[in-house]
Amino acid sequence: MRLIRSLPASVLESISHALKAGRLTPPFTAFSVAEWVPHGLRESLADEFTHLFRMGFTPETLAMTVAALAENAEARQRVSDQIQLVWTSPDEEGPYVRDTSVVVRQLLSEARHSLWISTYSVFNGHEVFLPIQEAWLIRPELEVVLILNVPADDKNGIYENAAVEKSAKAFWKYHWPWARKPTVFYDTRGPEKTLNLPACQHAKCILVDGISAFITSANFTESAHERNIELGVLFRENPKLVQSICAKFENLIQSGFLKRLPAL
């Protein structure tokens, strides 16, 4: 049943209905199955149905079997729809591929209850974060949490609290200039004066309403969303995954590895 199993759910459902209604009956021929497959596959499809009929399948049991295969194909498609590749790329071709900038804007605009964003680098935040500010005007109850990287300034010898203060001033001035502020955390190891073993917050993801997760190589910058070559995966209707990621971030907060960025 290799060919039968490969048919789309809609085709399988149509065949099942035809078997039940008596429109498709033995003997199975290329002509009798012509409406469901291209010309080059008709003989093969007829042969598969003939083989099943000779094995003892009646039109009624064939209809039930094909209907079950249709349900299975629909389930596989639902799973496929819930996991999508998301690219930033100079070309726009490829199967099952979505654009990073489009997905990010959609996720930010559709958040209703909670929005967690983790990124390494931010550029022109007043533009890329604007959809969040606009969402707050409509849904003030929306919880927004950002997890950022705060680096040391090795060039100017600025570390620890001084580096945090510098990053906080720059973030609130240039990236989040609005009065209402989100909850922002940073990796406390980033601004440390550690020349041999530096560490940073490099995870990049967006979590929406506890059910959708976008895990990506792209930072929260216009170039990452529009011009670079970046790859991510969008998971829809996957609360278990989202809860697992949130739980890890919350554990890092509780253990002190992630600390609140001062709201200057």
Q: Are 186 and 149 in contact (CB under 8 A)?
A: yes
Q: For strand 205-208 and strand 183-187, is the pairing parallel, antiparallel, or unpaired?
A: unpaired
Stated pTM of the model: 0.74
CA distance 21 to 1: 22
- CA of 203: how far to CAs of 13, 149, 226, in Å? 44, 9, 19
pLDDT in single tens digits along all 264 residues of the chain? 889 998 888 899 999 999 999 999 999 999 999 999 888 899 999 999 999 999 999 999 999 999 999 998 887 777 667 888 898 888 766 555 678 888 998 899 889 999 999 999 999 999 989 999 999 999 999 999 999 999 999 999 999 999 999 999 999 999 999 999 999 999 999 999 987 888 999 999 999 999 999 999 999 988 888 889 999 999 998 999 999 999 999 999 999 999 999 987
Q: What interhelical angle do 100-110 and 130-138 show, nearest 10?
A: 20
Tokens linked to 235: 């998971």
pLDDT tens for 166-205 read 999 999 999 999 999 999 999 999 999 987 888 999 999 9
Q: Phi and psi dihedrals of 59, rounded to 5?
A: -55, -35
Instruction: List all residues 6 or more positions away from 105 whose beta carbon is below 8 Å from its beta carbon.
Output: 131
CA distance 63 to 13: 9
CA distance 5 to 70: 9
* R_g of the chain, CA atoms, integer Å: 27
End-to-end alpha-carbon separation of the chain, Å?
67
CATH architecture of 89-260: 2-Layer Sandwich (3.30)
CA distance 29 to 49: 9
| Domain chopping of the chain, boundaries | 2-81, 89-260
Instruction: List all residues 6 or more positions away from 173 whose beta carbon is below 8 Å from its beta carbon.
Output: none
Burial class (CB in 10 A: 0-12, 13-18, 19+), 244: exposed
What is the predicted pLDDT for the residue at 97? 62
CA distance 86 to 64: 38
Instruction: Supply the DSSP string of 112-138, one letter for each residue.
Output: SSEEEEE-S-BSSHHHHTHHHHHHHHH
